[in-house]
Structure 1
């Protein structure tokens, strides 16, 4: 059975791969198709990101269930630098089912463009152990 640390490393790897797909689509010039593809990739990158935070927090002994809890706790633990951006992206993620409305779709697209930098920050924080003892020591 994998340890919590090995599981976190595995999920970080998955997040990095997903992030590369978001980066890839963001290299393209804006079109409705690019916007829609970006929104889809934003959704799964955001989901993976908050779940990686959840796993890192669990290793720290902090139990969370919901994305909002994970964001708040990750900020308090030092994994996130700007909690407001993450709460805005969470709101936008929650609006993705309404992207048939061009105004909402454009708002989510703009939010998606901010996600890669923010995800790289949490990956670095986890890998560099800024949030505590995540990758150095495992708590039971």
Structure 2
């Protein structure tokens, strides 16, 4: 297995762990502000790993994407993401939570994360089936 394929496989493992940890956080009591903060931080981390994984996959396909936004747009163009606007909103939410903190904004973003999670998870499993299970048979 060449270096890029090994990195892709590692990216999927990291992304799966991040998604599982985000899911664990989403299953906690969201009335607790510490849980809200932790959930948002896990979301930020998961989105970061997600776009970097997509960037690696795009590179494997010969597509050079430099920024998170460009990566999501390219991933949508090749059919890996079903709802481009939702993914771009996830990125915007991640950016907003990273630079400023406000309780009302945190609650709104938490609500968004709850809505995003099913798409994040189903996209992961679709990509994993397409790439990792293909790698394991090579």
* TM-score (structure 2 length as normaliser): 0.86
- The SS at the match of 1:128 is helix
Deviations 1:112-138 (A, max 9, x none): 223432222332232233xxxx5658x
Question: What is the CA RMSD across the aligned residues, in angstroms?
Answer: 1.8
What does residue 77 of structure 1 align with? Answer: 78
Q: Which runs of 4+ in 1 moved over 3 A?
A: 134-137
| Correspondence list, 1:92-131, <5 A | 92-96=93-97, 97-99=99-101, 101-129=102-130
| Correspondence list, 1:9-20, <5 A | 9-20=9-20
Question: Which structure is higher in helix share?
Answer: 2
Conserved 8 A contact 2:12-2:128: no
Q: Which moved more, 1:64-73 or 1:22-31?
A: 22-31
Query: How far apart are the structure 1 equivalents of 2:49 and 2:128?
Result: 16
Query: Displacement, 1:2?
Result: 4.5
What does residue 7 of structure 1 align with? Answer: 7
Aligned length: 132
Structure 2: 5+ residue runs without aligned partners?
none
- The SS at the match of 1:9 is helix
- The SS at the match of 1:124 is helix
Structure 1: 5+ residue runs without aligned partners?
none
Query: Displacement, 1:18?
Result: 1.0
- The SS at the match of 2:62 is coil
- The SS at the match of 2:6 is helix
Query: Displacement, 1:102?
Result: 1.3
* TM-score (structure 1 length as normaliser): 0.85
Conserved 8 A contact 1:54-1:64: yes
